[in-house]
Structure 1
Amino acid sequence: MTIVPEDIEISEVEETLETIKSLGRVRVRGRNFSARLNRRMVLCESKETVREDSVPSEVMPIDGGEAWPVIILGGSPEAAEEFNSKLKGLLQAEGKTMEDLKSLFPSTTPPTSSTESILRAVGDLLEKTTKPADGGSYGRLRMFSGVLPTPPGEESFDNWLEQASLMVEETECSDREKRRRIIGSLKGPALEIVKAVRHTNPDASPKECLEALESAFGSAESGDDLYFAFRLMQQQKGEKLSDFLRRLERSLVKVIQRGGLPASSKDQARLEQLLRGAIASDLMLIQLRLRERRATPPNFLQLLTEIRAEEEYETSRKKLSASVHQVHANTEVDTRQAEIQNLKAEIKELKSMVAAVVTKTTHDKDDYMELKSISAPPVVENRQDAELAALKNN
């Protein structure tokens, strides 16, 4: 079998495959279009006994273009056993059985020939086996037990429910696989709730399991109560405006889910409560001109993008202001250091001048005392002569 573009003629297919010497003469026995591959699957018959190892996995068309894959159906018993082991491994990895594989073959409209049966079976198998792979790409759910306070390694109920709801809505795997993933992430009281639901209704859908868990572990507040709490929310001290907006959005989603507010009014309610509750970001609200946009409020993503851009601008401006202030501070410190050095030099010079004056004064005083001691005796002698003269006159 080969897979070719839709507009390729039968003769071109036969001529291209006959370029493979080990196939010999080739005849087309059937064709079927695959919507998933957007190509035709062509079943061919060869007159020669074909060994799989003698046939290339691709063949280039005669007229050029992209290579066609070549698939050998049938083959030796060893090849059949290898195919069976690969098929069993694939089914085991996907959680399927041979009974599930049999259900892929239509029973209401039997094929008109063995060729059509093979083509239809291969096409259905390709379509069915790719869907679990798409669902399998979704990450595993974190554990949830319903125990309070939340044990380490587990998610709170709100976070777990959000992830589980996304898994149920977005993955394309079967409801049975979705239920298996939900049950695999539960333990303790939460697992007991789902077991009770399954006991009451063995065919309960994944959404019914989530609804039962929400009724057991979710908030018991009504939509009106949640809306009233939403209207009282305010920005906390030190909380960024973007963080406050995300907190508003989580509360608003719960309000809408409980029927406290129509989904069509969510943008208006979000903007009004942001303006009312953002008590620490008045300047940013003015710069974003949000009060003027009440008539046409932005959605959550637009609003979050604008606020984060403004916050980044404010942060960069504060960093620039801090660096400029640091430069000024360093300049002032350098100036003060220079002044201190000048004062120290002046004080040192004054000290030297004072020391010189004190030294000179001491020398002058010593000279004076020395002169005084030399001139003192004659004065005493004159006084003695005067006294003797007075005595003589008497």
Structure 2
Amino acid sequence: MNQSASTTERAQLINWCRGEEVDSAHAVLMIGIPEGTDIAFIEETMHTIKVFGRVRVRGKTFNALTKSLMVLCECSRIEDPDQVPNEVLPHGDLVAWMLVVADGATIDPGEGVPTSSFQEKLTKLLQEEGKTLHEAQALYPAEALQTMSPEAIIRAVGDILEKMAKSHNENNAYQRLRIFSGSIPTPSGEESFDSWMDQACLMVQECDCSSREKRKRIGESLKGPALEIIQAARDANPDASPMDYLEALEHTFGTPESGEDLYFAFR
């Protein structure tokens, strides 16, 4: 029973048939064929499946993601689509080729894109992660998704979620900087200036939050002389950027002299 094919694959078959002017009721899409496979061998293999009658290859394309061919075949008959097997194992090969027939495919006439619960589930999943389908299509355009096998689509969605998770984790990593006061020696539980500055620069340069949020995070991590430095910088320039704050701290504490001495000199 040919039931493993997704709506996307059946829609892809129909679209390909329209381009090749092949009757989709007499067409089979073959997925996962090794590159370099001879057309005669493909047709010979398909002739072992009696439900198709005579078969000939009408087109083939290479899928870079799966590193295999997809082949469109036209057959003399498909009397009962339910009798079409899900796959065929070629002679001498250990990997089966997936077979797709057009029964049950539903196409949106305005877009030519399959309407399926898969897209609805993907949209809902992206919304839960604060992303949109448009952002996903920027990574994997609709045209590319239409040429993907189910395994490739799963990998594509996995890539999208991995990128979103990475971005989320990176932003969380910058939510709170360690405490720095500028006191010498460095009190227990505080960061040295160089270590704190490295973290702060990374947050300012790579975090996606607003400048206001970055200034807030810097201020929350400072106390004592260091906090008064950025308060003085803010009073002198209310529009000071997060990098202006860091430069003021660098000018004050980024030398081998005592931070407290430089603080009083700065005042």
Q: Per the shorter chain, which TM-score range?
A: 0.3 to 0.5
Query: More helix by proportion, 1 or 2?
Result: 1
TM value normalised by structure 2: 0.45
Higher relative contact order (Cα pairs below 8 Å, separated by 6+ residues): 2
Higher-Rg member (1/2) = 1
Query: More strand by proportion, 1 or 2?
Result: 2
